[in-house]
Amino acid sequence: MLEWIGAVCIMVLMAILWPMVKCFGEGSQSTLLLQGLEIPRRESKRSTERCDSNCGTGTQQKPGGRDESPTVALICKPSALANYLLKHCMTFCKQLRIQKFNWRVSSSLQTIFGAVWPYDCPVHFIRDHLQLSDDGLVALDWAVVGAHHKRRRTSSNSTSPILLVIPNSIGKITRNVLKLCEAGLSHGYLPVVFNRRSQNGTPLSTVKLQQFGDPTDLREAVRYIRYRQPAGQIYAVSESTGSGLLLSYLGECGSSSYVTAAACLSPIFRCQSWFENGPTWPFHWALLLYQKICLSRYRTVLGEHVHADSLFSSCSLREMEEALFCQSGLKGTLVEEAGGWDAYWERNDPLRDIDEVAIPVLCVCSQDDPIRGEPRATLPLELFESNPHFFLLLTGHGGHCGFSTPDEGSNVWSHQALLEFFRATNDFFTAEERASLAARRRGLGGAGKTFRLRSISTCKRVPVCSHNIHAIYNWQRSYTS
């Protein structure tokens, strides 16, 4: 009931205050691909024939010879994997056509629909409370279908791939996350949602909250998942600001991440600037209010370690983040390392170790994203054009974690895209490994190097586990509820 009330209130607010004329303006907002961004022509003849010049280019040729603005563009560095994706991922080349007067043209309504609109999801969750090395708790929610499976644990002998879902940084389990888990189950994955300390009903057992880009807790959770499911490959998906945690983890762990491939839905790349400037004010206000409501449960205990008055009277996301992690002078402050705002982001910027990422990463973004902001200032196109591990799937419409289309049925377009991406990368790696093995058998030596082997060689720092995983991850440390 509260979900419905929240959805209705936000929609009424947006209907009154938001400039809805953008929805019914001049044609499609996908023209930003031509007006605001210069997308270089980076495609092979093979990909051109497959996608009709629509993936990675600026225009699409209609039969009559007239150019039409595209709705999907794949921006990446030319590589064998990129060509393979263009050939085998049909969603990458699917036209996202939305009629001019359809509500989905509005990026704000797309965002609200994907974030707070209620969804009667058939998926249920089995929760594991994982006790960490510092006695903190995080929760892992394993998705299952049907209430009669609610108490059934996943078999450790299963070879099904794991779909690790990282929600946004405020811990809100959105409609988008629920539908992603449902889609993952229908495609043979074992979805598991990572919940940070104190979020989504996870108890706060220690007075320590997770900093924005600190992957320590996620690293232990991934090791536990690997211990529980040693035969299944791990694929990671993050939503919104949760992408900061995933990118930080992939950068710090490099080739030791245990992750085969990853995807980020509507990621925030330039996080310090985003906190300083904030999204448009209605969304800024909603995010700030939601975080205050969640933290108010721990107001008494947090008051012993942070300036509670500054925290709950903050008027911006930056002020709240500073009150939690950047203030000093209190005994037992939540941030263990001294330093101000700039020092905080030196430790937590998701792009700080981006060159160490050693697996393929797909980022799905829309140009009309009202949370991320102006694409020219917020999308690091140079990263995708120079790093062979990163792929940007850019759409004209979609809002923030929306990507709803009139003909989507039960599957969201962005979920189809990332699942196709995972399947294609796995097939590509398998084919490369077979070719490498065949080349070695023929005595060709190094001619059979694969994409994965090249990516592993780029790792500069391999994290070492400081504790015995078998001593920590046992029945005494993991509790099912």
Let me know: does 210 contact 197? Beta carbons within 8 Å. Answer: yes
Q: Which residues pair with 395 in a beta bridge?
A: 72, 366
C-alpha–C-alpha distance, residues 347 and 337, integer Å: 10
C-alpha–C-alpha distance, residues 115 and 359, integer Å: 28
Q: Decide: residue 291, CB within 10 A, 0-12 exposed, 13-18 middle, 19+ buried.
A: buried
CA nearest 394: which of 376, 367, 420?
A: 367
First-last CA distance in the chain: 24
The β-bridge relationship of strands 137-145 and 390-395 is: unpaired
Cβ contacts of 23 within 8 Å, gap of 6 or more: 101, 103, 105, 106, 109
- 361 to 291, 356, 357, 415: CA distances (angstroms): 29, 12, 9, 14
User: Which residues carry out catalysis?
Assistant: 369, 400
Extract the tokens encoding 269: 């790349």
